[in-house]
Structures are given as C-alpha cells and as structure tokens.
Amino acid sequence: MVHNLVLFAHILGAFGLIAAYTIEAIGLRGLRGATRRDEALLWLRISRGIVMRLAPASLGVILIAGLYLMATYGGPRGWIVVALASFVLLAAVGGVGTGLRMARIGPAVNSAADPLPDELRTALRDRVLLLSLDVRLAMAVGILFVMTLKPSALTSVVVIVLAIAVGLVAGLLPARGSRNELRPEAG
C-alpha cells in the first residue's frame, strides 16, 4: 500500500512539473509581447508566482518519492541512475537558463518606466528563456520514456541525449513572427 501511495505521489509530482512548465510557457508568451510595465508585471505575477511555488514543490516530491521507490526497488539500476542524473540536470537547466535571467528581469520590470525600454523588452524576449523551457520539456519526455520502459543504461543515456538534442533544435528554431517582434506597431 505504501509503495502505491509513493508511486502516486511520484506521478502527481510529474503532473505538477508539467503544469508548471505549461504556466511558464504561457507567461513567457505574455512577457514577450508586453510593451508596458503593467502588462509585464501582470505576466510576471501570474507565471512566476505560480511557477516558483509549483516547480520546486513538484521537483521535491518527484525526488523524494523517486529515491524511496529506488530504495525499495532494489537499489540503483542503470536506467534509474540515468533518470536521476537527468532529473538533476533538468533542474540545473531551469535554474541557470531561466531562474537567473528571471531574477534580473523581475526587479528591472518593477523599476521600469512606460513604455518598457527597448533593452528590457529585449531581455523579455531572450531566446535562452525559450531554449531552457524547450530543453526541460524534451528532457521530461525523455525521462518519462526511460522511467516507463526501463531500458539499459546505455539506451537510457542515448534517449536523454536525443531528448536534449530535440529540445535544443526546438529552442533554436526561429519563432513565428519573431521578425516583427521589435517593430513598433503601425498606426
């Protein structure tokens, strides 16, 4: 019974993480289009307020439940070690790729004047924010694949490397409408 409850918590944590990524994606879209301070603050409060609570909580639940499941499953196996290392890398990509940038953007938006300065608007459209999200989403799918199929360690590594590559390619592809993002509105 305990095993099933811990497994439920582990899966629930994964749902929470995907929900956090979804909210982050919506918030980034809103921030990228913001031209006024109040718009940017609204998107920051909605997305960062929820993401900064939901993502760490979900990561914690996934990690604690996963470690328990590993201990009761018979210890570290190849796919478990790869999934755990990938999970740590996923968190690091989020912290470095998104967390550090958003820690600078938040105060800059709070102290900005209207309309938002071009330098701040450029920071809100930083491609690294999208790249970080795309890589983390792809890694989450790769980890899900590894956790579901439990392949050998080598196959698990290949899956995660491919997932990272897919995330990088997706993050580096030009966004639709990106050529017009910094042009002033006509009228």
b/e string for 106-122 if b means 16 or more Cβ within 10 A?
A: eeebeebeeebeeebbe
Structural contact between residues 48 and 106, judged by C-beta atoms closer than 8 angstroms: yes
Angle at 82 between CA 146 and CA 12, to 5 degrees: 55
* Mean predicted confidence (pLDDT) in 2-31: 96
Share of the chain above pLDDT 90, in %: 86
Mean predicted lDDT score pLDDT of the chain: 92
Structural contact between residues 20 and 51, judged by C-beta atoms closer than 8 angstroms: yes
pLDDT at 59 > cutoff 70: yes
Task: Grade residue 174 by pLDDT with cuts at 50, 70 and 90.
Answer: confident
* Mean predicted confidence (pLDDT) in 109-138: 95
Among 90, 92, 96, smallest CA distance to 140 is for: 90
pTM score: 0.88
**Peptide linkage before 115 cis (omega within 30 of 0):** yes
Name which residue leads in pLDDT, 160 or 187: 160
Rounded distance, CA 76 to CA 166, Å?
27
